[in-house]
Amino acid sequence: MGPVVQARNARRDPHTGRAKVKTGCRTCKLRRVKCDEGRPVCGRCSSAGRVCEGYGIWGGGSLCAYRAASTRSSATSSASASVSPSPPACISILAIGLEEGHHYDWFRCRTATKIPGMFVSASFWNTVVFQACLSEPAVLHAALTLSCVHKSAICCTDDNPESTTDNLDNQETFLLQQYLKAIRHLRPLLSKRDRNSVRIALVACVLFVCLEFLRGYFQTAQAHLQNGLKVLAETRAGGSTCGNSSVLPLQARGEVVDEHIVEALYRLHVQVELFNSTYQEPCLVLQQPRLVSSPIRFDTVTEASKGMDGLLNRILCLSQQASQPKSSQTASSQYPSTLSSCQQRINADLRHWLDAFEASAEALRKEAQLKPFICELLRGYHTMATIMADACLHGYDEAIFDSYTEQFVAIVAVFSNHRGTRPSCDDSSNPQETRPATVTSQASCQGLNMARSVIDIGWIPPLYYTALKCRVPRVRLQAIQLLESTSHREGIWDSRIAARVCRKVMELEEGTCHDAVYTQNELQVCSSLSQQDPLMSTVPRSCRVNEVKVVLPNSPTDSLFLVCRRRLDTGAWKEWTEECNSPWT
């Protein structure tokens, strides 16, 4: 029987696969073969002539060995063609300390998966940043700084034992140390200005912008962003500036890394410009990295979002060009025909975008995890963009927005109906992050729910635009109360700051009489509004604020300032500044 059993055992389990390979280089894991784990390149890959992809965060691999050899031979010309931005030397994650290792794990598992937001392509974070962290000290320490900001605010709750004063002080010390290390490693790269050095600097720049947004140091974040755009402009212009042109072309040069980096900077720039779009002053306007013909349908939500970003950027560019003839007051015919033609093309592209979106709606809803809201959010952005495009050549006539009441109602209704399923506010994949943030008195996390914060724009901009431009009190108040219902950030967009700005503008235009009429916290916005409603009366033209520039604070406790402009009946301008206390104090 013994031989029979042995023969049976030899024949059974025909579907049983080979044992899983849990260690070894990535190449051997994918091939499901045993790896000898040689360093820096495993012997099995080397003998077979294959490219050893190394051991993940533990370093190694053919690429690392090649760079080390290139360094010794001073042959760095071929290394510049590498896909990932890297200097000659390869840094191992094993070289970092225990605390740095903990923060890197947090960045890898929590920060990089949470803060990019709904529409940002994962390629920049999952590919470019992680590859750069393995070999570039400047990027690694910038990532650790961002991780520290994110982790400190997440854990900075009264019911968390880590929220003691000593722990918070230690976190602040660690943050400053990592920040200084990143800057120290970055300075030599900025002096070189070769292609790889610029790549590394721009990746670190994006991380700096993100961490300063989350910290509430908005002016510092904008300074980082402008410096990054300046470096990119000089690179694209062959070392010179773009002269007096207000348009900066930022097309990638056909390489994947360049495209991901430009896209990350592009999205940050669009959200910053969108925040101050109502204040007509010259500023930098970017061209979309990849200008393509209008698609018939969108394959992914990210593709639809990219298309909307391009349209918003073109609208902002047109608005700023239209703001130059200050003598023009109302009639769009007073603008050059080129601007009118540009407006017509934008409106046509907005219609094409909506057609493609409608054709793809079912597939996009299946792709989105939070099924209805992401698609409705994109639809809300399209509604806002349509209003902006139609109104941008109407000079300073704020009455144009009175004809878009139904569109403003639609925007508010969407966000009111989906109030409990906002994807930028809830992370169902991590229950620990969905709890309310009852924070300590630490300024960096005072009232801000970092678990609900991202660095990409979400639902705040459409509500903010509605609250500023819709002069129907019922609709305006509902938009403001929706902004006040949460406390999170979307890049430069802070829900509490946006709500405070809108309330201040409403007070300047209307006073506080409507608050006395409606005292309940919730305002019901109906699909059809009655003209007999006491909150349906609109604001007189002479009382309206035409332009608002928000000077954001540079720390969580600083005040913010509103630079307001109103066009008088005489054609002159009245400009004044209003101070608002920080909502986080």
Question: Rounded CA gap, 134 and 550, in Å?
Answer: 39
Both 386 and 321 in one domain: the answer is yes
pLDDT in tens, 341-394: 999 999 999 999 999 999 988 888 777 665 567 888 899 999 999 999 999 888
Last residue of a domain, one of 234, 265, 291: 291
Look up tokens 């063609």; give the residue: 81
Domain range for 57 is 24-75
Q: What is the CATH number of the domain that holds 37?
A: 4.10.240
Peptide bond into 40 cis (omega under 30): yes
Q: Is 540 exposed, middle or buried (0-12, 13-18, 19+ CB in 10 A)?
A: exposed
120, pLDDT greater than 70: no
Q: What is the DSSP letter of 419?
A: G
**pLDDT confidence bin for 488, thresholds 50/70/90:** confident
Structure tokens that stand for 175 in this block: 């943050």
**pLDDT confidence bin for 166, thresholds 50/70/90:** low
| Residue 182 CA: distances (Å) to CA of 145, 224, 512 | 9, 14, 49
Look up tokens 């570039």; give the residue: 136
Last residue of a domain, one of 291, 317, 339: 291
Question: Rounded CA gap, 462 and 442, in Å?
Answer: 31
Please calculate the CA angle 419-462-212 and round it to the nearest 5 degrees.
90
Give the residue, 459 or 278, on which the prediction is more confident. Answer: 459
pLDDT in tens, 496-521: 999 999 999 999 998 755 554 454 44
With respect to residue 228, please indicate whether it lies within any of the assigned structural domains: yes
Both 252 and 322 in one domain: the answer is no
With respect to residue 542, please indicate whether it lies within any of the assigned structural domains: no
63-91 burial code (b ≥16 CB/10 A, e <16)? bbbbbeebeeeeeeeebeebebbbbbebb
The per-residue pLDDT of the chain, averaged, comes to 75
Question: Rounded CA gap, 143 and 110, in Å?
Answer: 12
329, pLDDT greater than 80: no
With respect to residue 51, please indicate whether it lies within any of the assigned structural domains: yes
With respect to residue 151, please indicate whether it lies within any of the assigned structural domains: yes
- The number of folded domains in the chain is 3
Mean pLDDT score, 457-477: 92
Contact present, 66 and 95 (Cβ < 8 Å): no
With respect to residue 499, please indicate whether it lies within any of the assigned structural domains: no
Write down the pLDDT at residue 408.
Answer: 94
Q: Which amino acid is at 231?
A: V
Question: Rounded CA gap, 339 and 329, in Å?
Answer: 15
With respect to residue 202, please indicate whether it lies within any of the assigned structural domains: yes
Structure tokens that stand for 134 in this block: 């393995």
Q: Which residues, in sequence order, are CB contacts of 298 under 8 Å at separation 6+?
A: 304, 307, 356, 357, 360, 364
The winner for highest mean pLDDT among 7-11, 22-26, 581-585 is 581-585
Question: Rounded CA gap, 132 and 495, in Å?
Answer: 32
Write down the pLDDT at residue 79.
Answer: 37
| Residue 328 CA: distances (Å) to CA of 335, 336, 346 | 8, 11, 21
> Sign of the C-alpha dihedral, residues 288, 290, 294, 296?
negative
354-385 burial code (b ≥16 CB/10 A, e <16)? bebbeebbeebbebbebeebbbbbbbbbbbbb
Both 120 and 177 in one domain: the answer is yes
Both 218 and 278 in one domain: the answer is yes
Mean pLDDT score, 550-563: 90
Both 155 and 38 in one domain: the answer is no
With respect to residue 231, please indicate whether it lies within any of the assigned structural domains: yes
Last residue of a domain, one of 258, 291, 324: 291
Closest CA to 467 of 529, 376, 374, 401: 401
Both 310 and 321 in one domain: the answer is yes
Q: Which of 199-213, 231-245, 507-521, 532-546 has the lowest mean pLDDT?
A: 231-245
pLDDT in tens, 222-240: 999 999 988 887 776 554 4
Other beta carbons within 10 Å of 160: 15
Structure tokens that stand for 234 in this block: 């000089």
Mean pLDDT score, 441-455: 58
End-to-end CA distance of the chain: 83
Both 259 and 284 in one domain: the answer is yes
20, pLDDT greater than 80: no
Both 266 and 332 in one domain: the answer is no
Write down the pLDDT at residue 354.
Answer: 95
Closest CA to 350 of 400, 302, 312, 301: 312
Closest CA to 356 of 308, 392, 412: 308
* pTM of the entire predicted model: 0.75
Both 187 and 254 in one domain: the answer is yes
With respect to residue 270, please indicate whether it lies within any of the assigned structural domains: yes
User: Which strand (E) or helix (H) includes residue 248?
Assistant: strand 247-248
Report the percent of the chain where pLDDT is more than 70.
65
Both 136 and 104 in one domain: the answer is yes
Both 105 and 177 in one domain: the answer is yes
477, pLDDT greater than 60: yes
The winner for highest mean pLDDT among 40-44, 269-273, 366-370 is 269-273
Mean pLDDT score, 138-164: 79
Look up tokens 């360094």; give the residue: 71
Both 70 and 175 in one domain: the answer is no
